[in-house]
């Protein structure tokens, strides 16, 4: 089967919530299509003693190794059945457990070592917007990861039939556009490209962006539907995704942003919080 991208390794994260269970299901489908290795990660957070009290007044922090070992054994026993389920689908899945100071740090550390092509995570809640704006694990991974992140709403499936890519002609959205073209060419998907004009004054620029997309799509032999909606970018993207019954939204991320920007809320975060389908956040390659 043709894969949606030349993927070799995928990292899917679980905390055993319904949200992450859905992300695992999507990751299994994607790994089966791409015929690539899938790593299933659960982070076991711990809080060092010195974070709770003054280290000047205490001896070096100690860890109850027996309790930690028991917790790790319990997590591994819950992760291991996924290996057999994956094998039934022809997927090579490796369960991973990492102890770290937080879920985010554990995911970051694992990703640094594995260097996966995509990280796959579930979206918490019905919209996830409030949680994202407060700096959830998903938002932090998106902000600081060097690799693409696929965010899956609870209950969503991954079909690659109708794609939407939004562009503002920045290097970040250009990376998303290239990824969208690659997926479309490999999967024969229907591709919708939009550039949102927040004001009348931005209409000309947005039309110019769309014209560039059309010219590049024609050069590569890709059929492209385009639109230049007017309004708030996140609302316009969600509107068109629902109207066109899009299966996957593809957006660019503005690099390794700081947590402060994440807390303020970006278009990417707002789209993720409201999207009816998975959202692929594409990171601009450095170097």
What does the pLDDT read at residue 46?
73
What residue spans define the domains of the chain?
Answer: 7-157, 159-287
State the chain's mean pLDDT as an integer: 85
φ/ψ (deg, to 5) at 247: -95, -25
What does the pLDDT read at residue 187?
87
Other CB atoms within 10 Å distance of the CB of residue 173: 24
Answer whether 282's CB lies under 8 Å from 179's CB: yes
Nearest alpha carbon to residue 177 among 162, 164, 188: 164
CATH: 3.40.50.620, 3.40.50.2000, 3.40.50.150, 2.40.50.140. Which one for 159-287?
Answer: 3.40.50.620
Report the DSSP beta bridge partners of residue 12.
Answer: 40, 120
The half-sphere exposure of 159 on its side-chain side, counting CA atoms within 13 A, is 10
Q: Give the span between the Cα atoms of 7 and 89, in whole angstroms.
A: 17
Total-model pTM: 0.86
What does the pLDDT read at residue 62?
52
Nearest alpha carbon to residue 31 among 78, 107, 90, 80: 90
Percent of the chain predicted with pLDDT > 70: 82
The 3-state DSSP class for residue 53 equals coil
Nearest alpha carbon to residue 23 among 104, 120, 93: 120
Would you give per-residue pLDDT tens digits along the chain (287 residues)? 455 557 899 999 998 888 888 899 999 999 998 899 999 999 988 755 544 455 555 555 555 667 778 888 888 999 999 999 999 999 999 999 999 988 899 999 999 999 999 999 988 754 444 444 434 788 888 888 889 999 998 888 888 899 999 999 888 899 999 999 999 998 889 999 999 999 999 999 999 999 999 999 999 999 999 999 999 999 999 999 999 999 999 999 864 444 444 433 578 888 988 899 999 999 876 54
Planar angle of CA 122, 191, 225, nearest 5 degrees:
135
What does the pLDDT read at residue 258?
44
Q: Give the span between the Cα atoms of 107 and 236, in whole angstroms.
A: 32
Answer whether 121's CB lies under 8 Å from 23's CB: yes
CATH fold group of domain 7-157: Rossmann fold (3.40.50)
* Count of positions (residues) in the chain: 287
The 3-state DSSP class for residue 44 equals strand
Percent of the chain predicted with pLDDT > 90: 57
């Amino acid at each position: 089967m043709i894969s949606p991208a030349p993927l070799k390794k995928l990292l899917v994260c679980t905390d055993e919530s319904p949200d992450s269970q859905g992300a695992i299901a999507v990751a299994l489908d994607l790994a089966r299509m791409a015929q690539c290795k899938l790593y299933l990660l659960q982070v076991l957070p711990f809080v060092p003693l010195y974070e709770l009290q003054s280290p000047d007044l205490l001896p070096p922090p100690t860890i109850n190794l027996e309790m930690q070992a028991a917790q790790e054994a319990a997590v591994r026993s819950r992760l291991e059945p996924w290996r057999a389920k994956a094998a039934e689908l022809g997927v090579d899945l490796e369960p991973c457990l990492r102890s770290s100071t937080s879920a985010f740090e554990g995911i970051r550390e694992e990703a640094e070592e594995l260097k996966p092509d995509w990280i796959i995570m579930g979206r918490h809640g019905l919209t996830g917007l409030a949680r994202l704006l407060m700096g959830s694990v998903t938002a932090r991974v998106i902000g600081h990861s060097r690799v693409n992140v696929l965010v899956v709403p609870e209950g969503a499936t991954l079909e690659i039939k109708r794609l939407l890519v939004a562009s503002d002609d920045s290097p970040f959205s250009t990376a998303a556009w290239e990824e969208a073209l690659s997926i479309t060419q490999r999967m024969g998907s229907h591709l919708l490209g939009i550039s949102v004009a927040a004001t009348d004054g931005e209409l000309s620029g947005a039309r110019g962006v769309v014209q560039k997309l059309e010219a590049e799509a024609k050069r590569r032999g890709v059929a492209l539907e385009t639109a230049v909606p007017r309004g708030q970018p996140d609302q316009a993207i969600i509107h068109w995704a629902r109207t066109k019954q899009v299966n996957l939204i593809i957006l660019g991320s503005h690099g390794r942003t700081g947590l402060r920007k994440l807390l303020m809320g970006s278009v990417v975060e707002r789209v993720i919080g409201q999207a009816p389908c998975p959202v692929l956040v594409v990171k601009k390659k450095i170097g």
